[in-house]
Structure formats: structure tokens, C-alpha cells
Amino acid sequence: MKLENVLRQSVMMLDLKSTSKEAVIHELVMMLVEDGVLDKSNREAFESVIWEREKISSTGVGDGVAIPHGMSELISKPTVVFGKSTQGIEFNSLDGKPACLFFMIATPKNSNNDHLALLSQLSARLMNETVIQSLTQATSKQQVQDILNADVSQTVSEVDDDAPFVVAVTACATGIAHTYMAQEKLQSAAGVHHVNIKVETNGSAGVKNKLSAQDIEKAVGVIVAADIHVEMNRFAGKPLVHVPVAQAINKADSLIETIVNGNVPAYVASHQDKKESEAPKGVYQHLMNGVSHMLPFVIAGGILIAIAFMIDQIIGVPTDSLGKLGSYNELAATFNTIGGMAFGFMLPVLAGYIAMSIADRPGLVVGFVAGGLASAGGAGFLGALLGGFVSGYAMNGTKKLLEGLPTSMDGIRTVLLYPLFGVLVVGLVMTLVNYPMSALNNAMNNFLTGLSGTNAILLGLILGTMMAIDLGGPINKAAYVFGTGTLTATVSTGGSAVMAAVMAAGMVPPLGVFIATQLFKNKFTKDQQQAGLTNLILGASFITEGAIPFASSDPIPMLISFVGGSAIASALVLMSGIQVLAPHGGIFVIMLVSNPLLYIAYIAIGSVISGVLIGLLKK
């Protein structure tokens, strides 16, 4: 659901007549009636829905903006109403100032995704001071639409023509949050230092704002902030800084200063005859490249399989056929087949893209075969993980052995010799590796299945700590990958308790931030209080990275608070044996959790603990 599809000129008013909160809500609701979205006889009932939300907390978010909103079966289609008051209206806003810009979000009942999507999009735009200023000065409905439909990400930050020009690439493993937060931080820092910048993002939706050859040519330097493999050869000969994506979020100013000052070596493109050094950071990048490509298969497949179980539970399965739960009824069997097919690609994709990160395109086919053999041989997630690295390094070795062939054989070398020898070597290695890895995989699954009491609590504390200690960094990703691995072995038996614990722990830090900014407002700036509201959505969506700016500003108290809440939530989930059938989604996959209410309660407990600790420890 996109904002531009629901913000129509027919529901805009640039000269609100109201002078009170009650009056302006009435005036905005009447625009819904006049537009045919709400029947006139239901006006008072929907106003009650809006007021019920206002009782929880004022939707006056500050900076002259208010976003009253509500969901109801009385609304025929998602709509955003816009109104502007020239004199301002007292709305009990968070900053105590009158509101001038009003956005009423009205969506049909059971449209949580659309409602949150619209709220998120509006919040993102209205956090931009330029957008608020432009809306305040707008004199026509078309101007309002143009301002709100414009891309506020500001992919090219222009200062002046004579200022230095820098290009950057941001990319994280999941492409959900880190990628775009790093982009925003770099653009903001560039503006402060009077530097022009263009940022390419390698996110979940693919490559956006891709750097052209001309961009790279005129740039004084390049910043690559990435945890996964990105195209690097294009930067050959340019001064380049290559850092984890988290560093661009935490130290954007330093990166801009470093690249502009020119004390950076030129990047040397890799070649097949160049022996690459594989430092620990390289291993992590290879792993994350595999994980980022694997996640869509796991998420889509896992949720479809979960839906298959839900369908059978709704339709019903005879007691003597419970062993076929999830595939007994024809519709359930169809969903199970589709989900199983997607899920079945998980291990080949993981191994294939790890190998591709190491050995480029020739490694892809070898890694796919290794992942397939690991799956067929019972080595599971761990076997595919090992197979991906074995495939990548084996292919690099194969390329080294065949580098002496004449150039006339380049075509046959790439199409025939690389895949033939690579697949043969890796196939033989995986045949041997599968035996011990299968035993290890079975032992781990048996251990996790039998977890109870003290063991479950201890593992929960460890996983919760890992999820919160670096907020989306290598330790967090290691815990997440472990949880995803356990899901592959348990998706047919109700889901993974480890995955449920990992997800709960990852939701706590941003939710804890939200609670702290509401309970201890005197310890946060106005901007931080507004960011705290955004963290409510991020936390509910299992996007841990929303808490990073707060951790950066006051690391020790914040991280102690995050770890405390996450560890408790994770331990409680594992102790209770709560399972989940999806590896991502947060509150949006709550119906795929074995005990939804208790799960939400445990997340709430962890979040409150984290929020209170922040209030007590933060200066």
C-alpha cells in the first residue's frame, strides 16, 4: 500500500476552520463522508474509533504535525485525509505546541498491514524538516501531493557544483534496515561537510540509484559500507574505504572526512590470478551473501507450509490421520507442496551464494550442488554452510590449476572445465563430509528437541544476549542464522522454539527504546522522542536495527539495557517451548506462533525491563 494511492485531492483541505481538537477531528471525518469513504450515518461511530485511539496517547507527534488514525469496518477503502490550519490547533502534542498539519489515516478493519504501511510512510516523510516546511508553505492541493509523493530519501545530496563529489554503496544481509539507515546517515554527514554524495543501495528490493560509470569517474573517492558482496571491480583505481554497514551508521562523519581528505589507497580490482586474503571479515561477508539470498526462500516457503497446517486445522483432520496434518485436505496439500518446493531450495541457495561470493560466478553451480548434496545426505543447514565454503575455495583452486591454458580455450574453460572439475571435486568431498555432518546435525536437533528447564533457560539467555549485543552485527547475525537453521529441521513438526526465542529477543531493543522515550521523556531530546515512536513499528516488525542510533549516542547503558530485556524474553520463550513457523515478520506472523498471547506477553516483559533499565542507567 503506497501513500500516493490513498492521498487524493478530494480529501484535502488547506484552510481548516476548526479551532479545537474535537472540531478538527470532526472536520476531517466529514471529508471522509463527503468523499464516499464513510456513510454519513456512521460518522459518529468512526469519530469514536478515532477518539479511542487518542485516549491511549495523543497522535500529535510534534513539530506541528498530528496523525489521528483508526481502523473500522465502516471504512470502505484505505484513505488518508490531509488538512492544514494556518493559526494552529491545540492537539495535546508531544512537544506541547499547536498542530498545523493533520493527516487522518482511515483503513478498513483487518487491514493491519496497510494501516502500518501508511503510518510508516507518513512518519518517514514527516521526520524530514524540509517536507514539513514545504507543506506549511503549500498553497495548492497539487503542491501537497507533489511534496508527499516525492522521494524523501534524497539519493543524491547536492551542496554546490564546486564541492567534492563522493559516491557510496550501502548493503546489509537482509536489506531491510541497515542499508537505508546507512544511506541516510552518509547523506546527512555529507551535507554537514559540504560534500556532494550519491548513494547506491543494495536492499531487499534490489539495487536502487545504481552508480553510473560517469558518477564513479568524477568522484574523488568511494565509500563501500556493506556486509555482503557488492560489485567492486567498477571502482578500480579510485580511492576507496570498505567498512561494515554499521560503521556508516555510527561513524558517517568520520568516513566522509577520511575520503575527502584523500588519505586513502586506490582500490585494486581482483583478478583470477590474484591470491585473495580471506580475513575473518571476508568470511563473514561470504556467509551473509548466502544468508541474504536464502532468506526469501525460507520466509516464503515457511509461511506457506504454516498456512497448510492452519488450513487442515480449520477444515479438520480425522484422529487416525493426524500424521498427515498439513497435507490431508487438497487445499492444504497444495500449499504444502508449493511451500515445500520453495523451502527445498534453501540449502542449495545458501551454499551457492556463499561459493559465488568467494569464487564469483563459477562458484555458483558448484555451491548449488554442494547444498543439494547436503540436503539429500541429511547434513542439513550445517552441511550446506560448510559445503558453500568448500565449493568457493575449491573453485578458486580449480581456476588456479587451469590458469596456464591458452587464451583460445577461455570459452571452454568457463563453460565446461570449471563446472565439470568443480562439481566432481566438491561432490566427492561432500560425500565424505555428509557422514559426520549428518551425525552432528541429528545430535543438535535431538538436543534442541529435548531442551527443558535450566538448559532451555541458559540457551535462551545466550541467544538473547547475542541478538542484542551488536544490534544486527556479526554476533546478532550468527544467532539469527542458528535460529533459521533449526527451523529447517522443525518446520514439519510445528516450528522452532529457538527461532521463536531469537525473534523475540530481536524485537525487544527497539520496543524498549519506545517504552523508555515514553516513560522517561526528560532523558531524551525531542528528535529522540520522535525516533522512539518509529521504534514501536520497527520493533513490532522484528527490525532490531532501529535501536542503533540510541546505542551509538550512549553505548554502555543502552547495550546493558538491551541485553537485559532480550535475554529475559528469549529465556522465557525457550523455557515455555513456544514455537514459530516463520523466520521473520515479528507481530505480522503472530498467528504462526504456537502460543501467540504468551509470546506477546514475554516480548512485552522483556521490552518493559529494557525500557526501565534505559531510564535508570541513562544520564
pLDDT score of 289: 84
Q: Residue 587: what pLDDT?
A: 85
3-state secondary structure 158-193: CCCCCCCEEEEEEECCCCCCHHHHHHHHHHHHHHHC
Q: Please, which pLDDT band fits residue 394 given cuts at 50, 70 and 90?
A: very high
Cα(145)–Cα(138) distance, integer angstroms = 10
Contact 543, 467 (CB under 8 A): no
pLDDT of 319: 73
Q: Which of 301, 367, 311, 369 is nearest to 337 (CA)?
A: 301
Phi–psi pair at 158, nearest 5 degrees: -105, 130
How do residues 575-601 score in pLDDT, each as one tens digit? 999 998 877 778 877 888 889 999 999
Read off the pLDDT of each residue in 86-99 and give the average, rounded to a whole number.
Answer: 85
User: CA geometry: angle at 13 spanning 100 and 50, to 5°?
Assistant: 70
Model pLDDT for residues 46-83, shown as the tens digit of each residue = 999 999 888 876 788 677 888 898 889 999 999 999 99
Domain boundaries, the chain: 3-149, 156-261, 280-449, 453-617
Confidence check: pLDDT of 540 > 50:
yes
Could you tell me how far CA 547 lies from the centroid of its own chain? 13
C-alpha cell, 538: 520497527
pLDDT for the residue 116:
58
In which band, very low, low, confident or very high, does the pLDDT at 124 lie, cut at 50, 70 and 90? Answer: low
pLDDT at position 155: 45
Task: Determine which one of 69, 178, 229, 293 is catalytic.
Answer: 69
Confidence (pLDDT) at 47: 94
Low-confidence winner among 178-192, 272-286, 482-496 (lowest mean pLDDT) = 272-286
Residue 35 CB partners (closer than 8 Å, separation 6+): 8, 10, 11, 79
> 398 vs 251, 285, 426, CA distance in Å?
40, 22, 11
Give residue 360's pLDDT band: very low, low, confident or very high (50, 70, 90).
Answer: confident
> Exactly one of 100, 115, 172, 293 is catalytic; which is it?
172
Helix, strand and coil percent figures for the chain, each rounded to 5: 65, 10, 25
The grid coordinates listed for 2 are 503506497
pLDDT digits (tens, 9 = 90+) for 245-302: 878 877 888 999 999 988 888 888 764 334 443 444 477 778 878 878 887 887 787 7
Each residue's pLDDT tens digit, 59-68: 886 778 888 9
Task: For residues 103 and 124, give the distance between their C-alpha atoms in angstroms, rounded to a whole number.
Answer: 13
Residue 496 has what DSSP assignment? B
- Which CATH superfamily groups domain 156-261? Response regulator (3.40.50.2300)
Q: How high is the pLDDT of residue 382?
A: 78
Would you call 178 a catalytic residue per the annotation?
A: no
Residue 374 has pLDDT above 70, yes or no: yes
CA distance 406 to 412: 11
Q: Are 576 and 527 in contact (CB under 8 A)?
A: no
Residue burial 297-323, b: 16+ Cβ < 10 Å; e: rest: bbbbbbbbbbbbbbbbeeeebeeeeee
- What count of Cα atoms within 13 Å lies in the side-chain half-sphere of residue 368? 7
pLDDT at 178 (0 to 100): 63
Helix (H) or strand (E) holding 404: none
Split at pLDDT 50, 70, 90, the class of 34 is very high
Answer yes or no: 172 catalytic: yes
pLDDT-derived band at 10, boundaries 50, 70, 90: very high
The listed CATH number (3.40.1160.10, 3.20.20.70, 3.90.15.10, 3.40.930.10) that belongs to domain 3-149: 3.40.930.10
List the grid coordinates of 284.
563473514
Residues 441-450 pLDDT 10s: 677 666 655 6
Q: Which is higher by pLDDT, 406 or 206?
A: 406
Over 90: is that where the pLDDT of 513 sits? yes
DSSP 8-state class, residue 152: T
Percent of the chain with pLDDT over 90: 39
pLDDT of residue 156: 47
Give 310-358 pLDDT, tens digit per residue.
888 788 878 777 667 778 899 989 998 998 898 789 889 999 999 998 8
pLDDT recorded at residue 137: 92
Q: Higher pLDDT residue, 434 or 613?
A: 613
**125 versus 18: which is more confidently predicted?**
18
Question: Which range has the top average pLDDT, 219-228, 481-490, 542-551?
Answer: 219-228
CB of 571 within 8 A of CB of 461? Answer: yes
At 507 the pLDDT is 95
Higher pLDDT residue, 271 or 88?
88
